[in-house]
């Protein structure tokens, strides 16, 4: 049945009379609806308050800070807080008293996937970033959700370091790590477009242990309890800085980079199958990620315009280690790069003996591709 996620706590007609083994959600808004539904039906899932905190950058920062975790200095600015003054001038005193200098990062409170996240190195860049995010949040495709947190911009001090992601699953409060992804491309701004995920991690065992420990602290701080989680963090000489933990699995088609085995490894299965089995309370003892290294490259949008096609797919698939090229963009579709954009035109997948081999395969395959994008002509009145 079709479900609206605008009011996640609203009762869903017909649901209460159905019989369920479990519940699963694969997006931020669906996760909040699933949490309320699970609570009403007595099913195991993440609590609504935990999911709400996880998808709100201000609330999650507060939870992490209260748990004693490393958290950047931060504050929020309502979009309507200033109208007649340049954003930085109107907020300079607050920023200074909060200890936030330059560089800093501005981000929408409720959007995900690095959408609207912009680094500013000086007051002029701050004002430009604020204006771009304001315009994005005023766009109809964001305003349609009537989400109060989409009227707030968060400003944080920039945290340098290498970035990672952890895919995991919670079973009644206990975290099982499914994969640690390295993000080999530096994510230093001005925008933060993620491109390559590769697993297993090439970090030291002590670094990986620190990433896992921070994730365990973070899920406990948020109160996430049962179901998938996806965590993003940075690691530098000061330790692990948790960026976010979502009460859902990895987004888009990126889950295709993961395969799992159980028992004698004679049969491998997808992350989706693992999550469905977990939601149905099936036995997952002995489940582990496949022995091979694997990864995904999210094909970036090179410039705004209308997608008219792509060349080089056959050459990309011929690169050693590349297993799949999935183009999701449709001819005639408008494409927009980050920070305003909200997706990728396609994905490349690769497997290999070592993670560095996978990364090289993905880069070679990407170099074979060329997207055809026609400019969007202005409307003449």
- Where residue 216 falls among pLDDT bands split at 50, 70, 90? very high
264-316 pLDDT, tens digit each = 766 889 999 999 999 999 988 889 999 999 999 999 999 999 999 999 999 99
Q: What percent of the chain has pLDDT over 90?
A: 77
pLDDT of residue 14: 59
Average pLDDT, the chain: 92
Domains delineated in the chain: 1-71+162-291 (3.30.470.20), 73-157 (3.30.1490.20), 292-381 (3.90.1170.50)
pLDDT of residue 162: 97
pLDDT at 4 over 60: yes
pLDDT at 117 over 60: yes
pLDDT of residue 83: 60
Q: Which residues pair with 152 in a beta bridge?
A: 78
- Where residue 17 falls among pLDDT bands split at 50, 70, 90? low
Q: How far is CA 94 from CA 76, 87, 216, 239, in A?
A: 10, 11, 32, 27
Q: Which two tokens stand for residue 20?
A: 């369920």
pLDDT of residue 15: 67
Q: Any idea which of 10-14, 181-185, 314-318 has the lowest mean pLDDT?
A: 10-14
Q: Which two tokens stand for residue 146?
A: 């009537």
d(CA 83, CA 159): 29
pLDDT of residue 133: 95
122-179 pLDDT, tens digit each = 999 999 999 999 999 998 888 877 778 889 999 999 999 999 999 999 999 999 999 9
Half-sphere exposure of 6 (CA within 13 A, CB side): 8
Q: Which two tokens stand for residue 205?
A: 């065992």
- Where residue 110 falls among pLDDT bands split at 50, 70, 90? confident
Half-sphere exposure of 253 (CA within 13 A, CB side): 17
Q: Which stretch of DSSP H or E encloses residue 100?
A: none
pLDDT of residue 369: 98
- pTM attached to this predicted model: 0.92
End-to-end CA gap in the chain: 42
pLDDT of residue 27: 87
- Where residue 20 falls among pLDDT bands split at 50, 70, 90? confident
- The secondary structure of residue 378, as a DSSP letter, is P
pLDDT of residue 81: 63
Q: Which two tokens stand for residue 356?
A: 């560095």
For residues 298 and 195, the answer to whether their CB atoms sit within 8 Å is yes
Q: What percent of the chain has pLDDT over 70?
A: 94
Spell out the residues 6+ positions from residue 204 whose beta carbon is closer than 8 angstroms to its own. Answer: none
Token pair 């927009």 in the structure block, residue = 336
């Amino acid at each position: 049945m079709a479900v609206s996620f605008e009011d996640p706590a609203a009762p869903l007609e017909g649901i209460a009379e159905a019989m369920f083994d479990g519940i699963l959600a694969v997006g931020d808004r669906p996760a909040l609806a699933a949490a309320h539904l699970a609570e009403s039906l007595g099913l195991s899932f993440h609590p609504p308050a935990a999911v709400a905190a996880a998808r709100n950058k201000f609330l999650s920062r507060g939870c992490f800070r209260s748990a004693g975790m490393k958290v950047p200095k931060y504050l929020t600015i309502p979009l309507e807080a200033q109208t007649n003054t340049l954003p930085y001038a109107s907020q300079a005193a607050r920023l200074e008293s909060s200890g936030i200098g330059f560089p800093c990062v501005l981000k929408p409170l409720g959007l995900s996937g690095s959408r609207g996240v912009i680094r500013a190195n000086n007051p002029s860049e701050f004002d430009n970033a604020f204006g771009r995010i304001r315009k994005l949040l005023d766009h109809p495709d964001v305003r349609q959700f009537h989400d109060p947190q989409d009227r707030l911009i968060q400003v944080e001090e920039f945290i340098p370091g290498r970035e990672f992601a952890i895919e995991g699953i919670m079973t009644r409060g206990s975290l099982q790590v499914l994969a640690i992804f390295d993000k080999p491309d530096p994510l230093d701004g001005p925008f933060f477009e993620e491109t390559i995920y590769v697993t297993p991690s090439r970090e030291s065992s002590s670094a990986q242990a620190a990433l896992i420990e921070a994730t365990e602290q973070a899920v406990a701080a948020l109160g996430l309890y049962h179901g998938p989680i996806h965590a993003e963090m940075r690691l530098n000489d000061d330790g692990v800085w948790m960026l976010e933990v979502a009460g859902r699995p990895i987004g888009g088609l990126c889950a295709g980079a993961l395969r799992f085995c159980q028992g004698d490894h004679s049969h491998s299965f997808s992350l989706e199958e693992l999550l469905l089995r977990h939601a149905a309370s099936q036995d997952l003892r002995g489940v582990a990620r496949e022995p091979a290294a694997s990864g995904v490259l999210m094909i970036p949008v090179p410039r705004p315009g209308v997608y008219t096609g792509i060349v080089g797919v056959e050459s990309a698939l011929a690169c050693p280690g590349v297993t799949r090229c999935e183009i999701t963009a449709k001819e005639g579709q408008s494409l927009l790069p980050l920070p305003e954009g909200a997706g990728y035109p396609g994905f490349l997948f690769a497997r290999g003996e070592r993670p560095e081999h996978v990364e090289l395969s993905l880069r070679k395959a990407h170099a074979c591709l060329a997207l055809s994008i026609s400019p969007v002509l202005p409307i003449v009145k």
